[in-house]
Amino acid sequence: MSEVTKEVLLEVRDLKKYFPIRRGLFRRQVGAIKAVDGVSFDIYQGETLGLVGESGGGKSTTGWTVIRDLEPTAGSVRFQGQDLSILAHDEMRRMRRHIQMIFQDPYASLNPRMTVGTIVSEPLEVHKIGTPNQRRARVQELLEIVGLNPGFINRYPHEFSGGQRQRIGIARALATNPTFVVADEPISALDVSIQAQVVNLLWDLKNEFGLTYLFIAHDLSMVRYISDRVAVMYLGRVVEMGPTEDVYSRSLHPYTQALVSAIPVADPEAEMTRQPIILEGDVPNPANPPHGCHFHPRCIYATEICRQDDPEFRNLGQTTEHWVACHHAEQNQGHTFGN
Amino acid sequence: MRPTDSQAAKGSTAASGGPDIGQPADDWLVVGRSPVRRAAARFFRDPLAVTGLTIMALIILITLFAPQIYSWDEIINVSNATKLLSPSAAHPFGTDNLGRDQLGRVLWGGRESLRAGYLVVLIGLGGGTILGLISGFAGGWVDNLIQRFVDVLLAIPGILLALSVVGALGPGLVQVMLAVGLANIPDYTRLIRGSVLEAKENEYVRAARVLGASNRRIMFRHILPNVIGPILVYATLGLGIAIMITAGLSYLGLGAQPPSPEWGAMLNQGRQFMRHAWWMPVFPGLAIVIAVLSINLIGDGLQDAINPKLRK
């Protein structure tokens, strides 16, 4: 994998995002959906952190809260040592040229009434970078970088395919030369045949421009391919985090084990013997998460302590940092998967 | 392994002509067809809409040249000798009870009525757009304040509001335009607020915010262009109604005052002589009908052009 210098670019500490549930005549708050419930992680300069988990696990909310498109309920996000959550509105706006985002839906995330040129140059215009002529040249350069014909500058988004539109979105995200890019399920809306192209493009761009990614996805094989480290989220919490290979081949958390066991294997013989762990039930209601370990109602190893106490997020790695939030992580180390 | 050359132009073969794979040659002039242009193309394929537009253009043209055909004096000066003449070559629409040429008055009246209609719509659209944008975008107490203000305006029937404005400021076309325009603001505000609420949830609005765009930029560059289409349709249809209402108020004697040749006022005057001189009410009435009809045809055409999925 790529070189990762151990310099922390983004430091997320105990991040929480609750959405209030209001009822009745006076819109009284009767509860809260704990979409993100105490998430902590670091992202090092130049690495890709994959964030995986089921739908409704709080992955995207984490991404949005990290870049402060949603205001965090609690916790801090430090970017290059600067706490983003206390920045004033205008300061945050200026900060955004360093932090960009790639969106999930390439059809909805491009304004249908703007030309490709206007869309890609908007970040430059907003941050007052360059003269109109320089911006135009930059847009053409960007289109070329993402593999589009620079002559498409006057076209409209509806004239492009999904993969091409996602490239336009990527060009827009790169316009201001950001250091950090949040990719919010950038490939899940694309055809499988296009997904690899876009992931490869993201990979190339990262190496070329020294980008740092927070890569949110639910496709585990793609995440394994692009990420240096992986964090697994369940019900608003990170349950396991570590180097990609450790998390995939030596999963410590039963939830991760279930996810990994669900990945189809390309080798037909191995696929025959693959025994996916089928999780029972659904993700519990995040407004009313289970007591103790959030995962215990669906966990095959759950014991009394899981019903009682919140597991601590511990580092169990020997040579690398491999964090897990499970009471029985030590016993579960035997369950490895060979894929 | 960047798949550069797989990115051929898709779905735009007409513009690019052949596969423009790889090297961008000299197709800098390739200009995409904007949503506006596509809507325009649909509009001009609709025969009814084109008919409406043609009639409206003719009406505007004729009323523009009315002063060249009839002088103001000609249509104002009273003459006993030409009183209540039926239509003839000299007076194609006949003359009124004061001996004035009716054709000249209808043409001049068009200037008054159309201008009144446009101004009414402009006031409603302008005020409603600004209030609706702010209301929908800001949300919270700002939204609440504006919506309660709109509620108050809506609670008063439009015609009553117009009557009270005229009552306060005295009768006259300008007062009526102001009154009807004001009465229109709530409708536009509601309409635009609704569209803004929907549009601001679009992912591209989030994208603009994330890349650092200011609220004003988001409102005017991202939201407004995406909500204005249906609003323009409504405004076009509203133009017909505005012309009718101003004519109606003039008919009641609140709007244009004699000797001004406003259509509604002429209709009112003609009503008294209907049994002896049918041409007096018929021609201004016809003018109103034709103008409103053509506007409605344009509005329907716009509706279909902007929203082709809704077409029956």
Residues in chain A with CB shorter than 8 Å from the CB of B199 are: none
On whether the CB atoms of residues A176 and A100 are closer than 8 A, the answer is: yes
Query: How many CB pairs (< 8 A) connect A and B?
Result: 118
Burial class (CB within 10 angstroms; exposed 0-12, middle 13-18, buried 19+) of A167: buried
Residues in chain B with CB shorter than 8 Å from the CB of A103 are: 203, 206-207
pLDDT at residue A333 in the model: 60
Residue type, B266: M
pLDDT at residue B4 in the model: 42
Confidence grade of residue B131 (pLDDT, cut at 50, 70, 90): very high
Tell me the pLDDT of chain A averaged across its residues: 87
Half-sphere exposure of A257 (CA within 13 A, CB side): 23
Q: Within chain A, where are the H helices? A: 59-66, 89-95, 116-126, 132-145, 162-174, 192-209, 220-226, 244-249, 254-261, 268-273, 304-308
pLDDT at residue B217 in the model: 93
On whether the CB atoms of residues B229 and B119 are closer than 8 A, the answer is: no
Write out the two tokens for B158: 């439009």
- Taking the Cβ of residue B212 and every Cβ of chain A, the question of whether any pair is shorter than 8 Å is answered with yes
Tell me the pLDDT of chain B averaged across its residues: 82
The helix or strand, by DSSP H or E, that contains position A13, with its residue range, turns out to be strand A8-23
**Residue positions counted in chain A:** 339
On whether the CB atoms of residues B121 and B237 are closer than 8 A, the answer is: no
User: What parts of chain A have a pLDDT lower than 50?
Assistant: 1-2, 4, 335-339
Percent of chain B surpassing pLDDT 90: 29
Confidence grade of residue B22 (pLDDT, cut at 50, 70, 90): very low
Confidence grade of residue B308 (pLDDT, cut at 50, 70, 90): low
On whether the CB atoms of residues B103 and B92 are closer than 8 A, the answer is: yes
Angstrom distance (rounded) from CA A249 to CA A333: 10
pLDDT at residue B276 in the model: 85
Residues in chain A with CB shorter than 8 Å from the CB of B20 are: 149, 151
| Cβ separation A172–B207 shorter than 8 A | yes
pLDDT digit string, tens, across residues B241-292: 888 888 888 888 888 887 888 888 888 888 888 888 898 889 999 999 999 9
| Cβ separation A113–B209 shorter than 8 A | no
pLDDT digit string, tens, across residues B39-71: 888 888 889 999 999 999 999 998 888 888 888
Q: Which residues face A76 on adjacent strands?
A: A13
Q: What CA–CA distances, in Å, run from A163 to A62, A149, A200, A226?
A: 25, 14, 12, 18
pLDDT at residue A5 in the model: 55
Write out the two tokens for A167: 């490239």
Q: Is the peptide bond before B259 cis (omega within 30 degrees of 0)?
A: yes
Of A111, A126, A156, the CB nearest to B32: A156
pLDDT digit string, tens, across residues B157-192: 877 887 888 888 888 888 888 888 888 899 899 999
pLDDT at residue B105 above 70?
A: yes
Confidence grade of residue B30 (pLDDT, cut at 50, 70, 90): low
| Cβ separation B212–A148 shorter than 8 A | no
| Sign, Cα dihedral of B208, B209, B211, B216 | positive
- Give the strand pairing for A212-216 and A82-83: unpaired
Nearest to B213 by CA among A69, A158, A164, A170: A69
